[in-house]
Amino acid sequence: MPKDVLTFKRGGVHPKDQKHFSNNKKLETLPIPSLLVVSLSQHLGAPAKPLKKVGDSVKKGEKIGTASSFISAEVHSPVSGVIKKIIKQPLANSVVADAFLIEVDKDAEEVVFEKVDYSKKSDEELLNTIKDLGIVGLGGATFPSHVKFMIPKGKFVEYLVINGVECEPYLTSDHRTMLERSEEVLEGIMIAQRVTKAKNVIIGIEENKMDAVEKLRSIIKEKNYPIKVQPLKMRYPQGDEKQLLKATINREIPSGKLPLDIGAVVANIGTCFAIYEACAYNKPLIDRVVCISGECINEPKNLIVPIGTPIKELIDYCGGFKEEPDKIISGGAMMGFAFSSLDIPVVKGTSGVISIKEENKAIETACISCGKCVEVCPIGLMPTMLYRNIKNGNYQTALDKYSLMDCKECGCCSYTCPAHIPLVHYFKTGKKLARRKK
Ligand code: SF4
Ligand code: SF4
């Protein structure tokens, strides 16, 4: 490994990156569909409270849901139109929440977000803009950004680490954003730096995106931004905060602690682009880049999509399927959720729609105690013991002795297991049942 290419130390796997389907496909804007389904629960935390009722007209960018607790986020209409219904809408992650069914008014006057000079705004005003315009983490976690950037008294941020890793197979939305919205992403990062008052800023990018490394470096040099771009060896799950911080700043987040406890804040590339659009144009988070990829899709693409678009619209726009997929996944192939229906809409956290054939439909057999799952666990857990205890109903032992709650559900153990045991599935179920028992 060249000296200036870093990575994390413990565990991890090297799945085929499968980026070739879409990494050279330029960003395209999806035409506005006629109906959108905008969920009030598109972020981590409490669902937003509805501000509109059936029959109300809404304008593109208008607030239609407001944060209902400290950890929650505002929701805006991606289009101008009329609210036809409020329905219970299941999402890819199985959450069922109220959603507005919005019929698009194709004749409505176009809403243009004008450029504003945000340089005179105070840091507090910028933070309020990020809150008011509904920005959440777009890497998948959807944690409200204003909460993450609200640094409590007595804490300070030594490192703002920007996640440009995109280590999940197939996904290329952040890669294309770094290449095609480079200046905007860097400006968004500088806003995040101002708001968090971070002393150092590092962007971590895996080696399969060296074109993005070079592009960002050249703009950083030209603009004299105090930002370092750090190439990282390709390795999954390097996009997880724990592994990313180990790789970039060589610090470990202790069990049960947050990045801020070790002086760091992590933000994703797509989030920084959304922060730029919010601060420089007063544009709420009403669309995002979604990577449509996989072996089964006719024309893989990286699309700019209005939030609330049913995924069947994306699949149709990409020419439909060339063969029937075994699975359509929201997000990456390792940690994503299988879509149960093509009517499920894009939410703020939808980074990809991946249609795949399962190469190896192998049957689960008994554990052979090979220890491979232990070798690859990036957290240092013992997946084999977690599995045995959960299978036997010993949830308390899994929690207390084998730290079940520290499992990041990265799937490295399941990926490696020669007995094809769906370990991560057991851990997800085990966590749910343990919580219920409590
Ligand atoms: S899913 Fe959990 S137990 Fe398995 S490798 Fe990842 S963190 Fe470790
Ligand atoms: S990798 Fe699979 S077979 Fe090997 S010890 Fe772990 S659970 Fe058992």
Quick check: is 135 in a domain? Answer: yes
In a shared domain, residues 255 and 388: no
In a shared domain, residues 406 and 273: no
User: pLDDT tens for residues 238-247?
Assistant: 999 999 999 9
Q: Provide the CATH number for the domain around residue 149.
A: 3.40.50.11540
Interatomic CA distance for residues 234 and 240, integer angstroms: 13
In a shared domain, residues 166 and 266: yes
Bridge partners (DSSP) listed for residue 111:
none
- Count of structural domains within the chain: 2
Interatomic CA distance for residues 357 and 296, integer angstroms: 7
In which band, very low, low, confident or very high, does the pLDDT at 438 lie, cut at 50, 70 and 90?
A: low
Q: Identify whether 237 is preceded by a cis peptide bond (ω within 30 of 0).
A: yes
Q: Closest Cα to atom 4, ligand 2: which residue? A: 370
Cα-to-centroid distance, 335 and ligand 2 (Å) = 19
Quick check: is 258 in a domain? Answer: yes
Beta carbon of 419 within 6 Å of any ligand 2 atom: yes
User: pLDDT tens for residues 67-113?
Assistant: 999 999 999 999 999 999 999 999 998 889 999 999 999 999 999 99
Q: What number of other Cβ atoms are within 10 A of residue 328's Cβ?
A: 24
Q: Closest Cα to atom 7, ligand 2: which residue? A: 384
In a shared domain, residues 393 and 262: no
User: pLDDT tens for residues 227-262?
Assistant: 999 999 999 999 999 999 999 999 999 988 999 999
Quick check: is 409 in a domain? Answer: yes
Residue type, 90: P
Q: What number of other Cβ atoms are within 10 A of residue 69's Cβ?
A: 10
Interatomic CA distance for residues 141 and 160, integer angstroms: 17
User: pLDDT tens for residues 191-228?
Assistant: 999 999 999 999 999 999 999 999 999 999 999 999 99
| Helices 173-180 and 269-281, packing angle to 10 deg | 50
Cα-to-centroid distance, 23 and ligand 1 (Å) = 28
137: Cα within 13 Å, side-chain hemisphere: 22
Q: Last residue of some domain: 281, 309, 338?
A: 281
Interatomic CA distance for residues 438 and 421, integer angstroms: 27
| H or E stretch covering 83 | strand 81-90
Residue type, 43: H
Quick check: is 250 in a domain? Answer: yes
Q: Last residue of some domain: 224, 248, 281?
A: 281
Cα-to-centroid distance, 404 and ligand 1 (Å) = 9
211: helix, strand or coil:
helix
Beta carbon of 377 within 6 Å of any ligand 2 atom: no
pLDDT value of position 150: 96
Q: Smallest Cα–Cα separation from 277: which of 145, 409, 388? A: 145
pLDDT value of position 109: 93
In a shared domain, residues 265 and 376: no
User: pLDDT tens for residues 148-188?
Assistant: 999 999 999 999 999 999 999 999 999 999 999 999 999 99
Ligand 2: which of 13, 369, 376, 382 to mutate, judged by most atoms within 8 Å of the beta carbon? 369
In a shared domain, residues 143 and 271: yes
Interatomic CA distance for residues 301 and 425, integer angstroms: 30
User: pLDDT tens for residues 282-292?
Assistant: 999 999 999 99
Ligand 1: nearest atom to the Cα of 11 = 5
Cα-to-centroid distance, 236 and ligand 1 (Å) = 12
Beta carbon of 393 within 6 Å of any ligand 2 atom: no
Cα-to-centroid distance, 92 and ligand 1 (Å) = 21
Residue the block writes with tokens 């933070």: 127
At residue 437, does pLDDT exceed 80? no
Quick check: is 191 in a domain? Answer: yes
Quick check: is 158 in a domain? Answer: yes
Tokens of 176: 């294309």
User: pLDDT tens for residues 362-400?
Assistant: 789 999 999 999 999 999 999 999 999 999 999 999 999
Residue the block writes with tokens 């004299």: 224
Domain extent, residue 420, equals 372-437
Quick check: is 65 in a domain? Answer: no
What is the model's pTM?
A: 0.95
Beta carbon of 424 within 6 Å of any ligand 1 atom: yes
Quick check: is 234 in a domain? Answer: yes
Q: Closest Cα to atom 1, ligand 1: which residue? A: 409
266: helix, strand or coil:
strand
Q: Last residue of some domain: 249, 281, 313?
A: 281
